[in-house]
Amino acid sequence: MSYVDNIIVDLEKKNPHEPEFLQAAKEVLDSLRAVVDRDGQYEKAGLLERLVEPERIIQFRVPWMDDLGKVRVNRGYRVQFSSAIGPYKGGLRLHPSVNLSIIKFLGFEQIFKNSLTGLPIGGGKGGSDFDPKGKSDNEVMRFCQSFMTELHRHIGPDTDVPAGDIGVGGREIGFLFGQYRRLANAFEGVLTGKGLPWGGSLTRTEATGYGLVYMVEEYLNRSGDSFKGKKISISGSGNVAIFAAEKAKELGATVLTMSDSNGVIYHKSGINLDTIKEIKLEKRERLTAYAKAHSDAVYTEADKGRVWDSECDIALPSATQNELNLDDAKHLTAKGCKVVGEGANMPTTREAAEYLQAQGVTFFPGKAANAGGVAVSALEMAQNSARLSWTFEEVDSRLKNIMIGIFHNADEAAKEYGKPGDYILGANVAGFKKVARAMLDQGLI
* One of 254, 320, 383, 428 touching ligand NDP (CB under 6 A): 320
The CB-of-253 to ligand NDP minimum distance in angstroms stands at: 19
Stretch of 7-15, 149-157, 160-168, 357-365 contacting ligand NDP, by CB under 6 A? 160-168
Please state, in angstroms and rounded to a whole number, the distance separating the CA atoms of residues 227 and 238. 22
Instruction: Tell me whether residue 228 is one of the annotated catalytic residues.
Output: no
- For residues 279 and 289, the answer to whether their CB atoms sit within 8 Å is yes
Q: Which helix (H) or strand (E) holds 61?
A: strand 56-65
Helices (H), ranges, 167-238 = 170-184, 204-222
- For residues 159 and 146, the answer to whether their CB atoms sit within 8 Å is no
Interface with ligand NDP, residue 370, by CB under 6 A: yes
Q: What is the dihedral of CA 129, 173, 400, 405, to 10 degrees?
A: -50
* One of 18, 172, 260, 422 touching ligand NDP (CB under 6 A): 260
The CB-of-49 to ligand NDP minimum distance in angstroms stands at: 27
Stretch of 38-46, 159-167, 214-222, 380-388 contacting ligand NDP, by CB under 6 A? 159-167
88-94 and 160-163 as β-strands: parallel, antiparallel, unpaired? parallel
Helices (H), ranges, 39-161 = 41-44, 47-51, 100-116, 137-151
Interface with ligand NDP, residue 261, by CB under 6 A: yes
The CB-of-260 to ligand NDP minimum distance in angstroms stands at: 3
Please state, in angstroms and rounded to a whole number, the distance separating the CA atoms of residues 408 and 53. 29
Footprint of ligand NDP on residues 324-353 (CB under 6 A)? Answer: 343-345
**Binding mask 35-74 vs ligand NDP (x if CB under 6 A, - otherwise)?**
----------------------------------------
Binding residues for ligand NDP, total number by CB under 6 A: 22
Return left, alpha or beta for 160; rule: phi > 0 is left, psi -120 to 50 is alpha, else beta: beta
The CB-of-337 to ligand NDP minimum distance in angstroms stands at: 20
With H, G, I as helix, E, B as strand and everything else as coil, classify residue 265: strand
Q: 125, 135, 230, 231: which is the annotated catalytic residue? A: 125
Interface with ligand NDP, residue 236, by CB under 6 A: yes
What residue type is assigned to position 206 of the chain? E
Stretch of 6-14, 183-191, 217-225, 254-262 contacting ligand NDP, by CB under 6 A? 254-262
Give CA 351 to chain center in angstroms. Answer: 20
DSSP 158: T
Q: What is the dihedral of CA 329, 330, 335, 338, to 10 degrees?
A: 50
* One of 86, 123, 373, 431 touching ligand NDP (CB under 6 A): 373
The CB-of-236 to ligand NDP minimum distance in angstroms stands at: 4
User: Is the CA virtual torsion 281, 325, 130, 72 positive or negative?
Assistant: positive
Bridge partners, 341 (sequence order): 364
- Which residue, judged by CB position, is nearest to ligand NDP in the bound state? 238
Interface with ligand NDP, residue 165, by CB under 6 A: yes
Of 298, 289, 210, 295, whose CA–CA distance to 257 is shortest? 298
Please identify, using beta-carbon distances, which residue of 79 and 344 lies nearer to ligand NDP.
344
**Binding mask 191-220 vs ligand NDP (x if CB under 6 A, - otherwise)?**
-----------------x------------
The CB-of-302 to ligand NDP minimum distance in angstroms stands at: 7
3-state SS of 342-394 is: CCCCCCECHHHHHHHHHCCCEEECHHHHCCHHHHHHHHHHHHHHHCCCCCHHH
Please identify, using beta-carbon distances, which residue of 75 and 419 lies nearer to ligand NDP.
75
**Binding mask 107-146 vs ligand NDP (x if CB under 6 A, - otherwise)?**
----------------------------------------
Q: Which residues make up the interface to ligand NDP (CB under 6 A)?
A: 164-167, 208, 236-241, 260-262, 318-320, 343-345, 370, 373
Residues carrying an active site annotation: 125
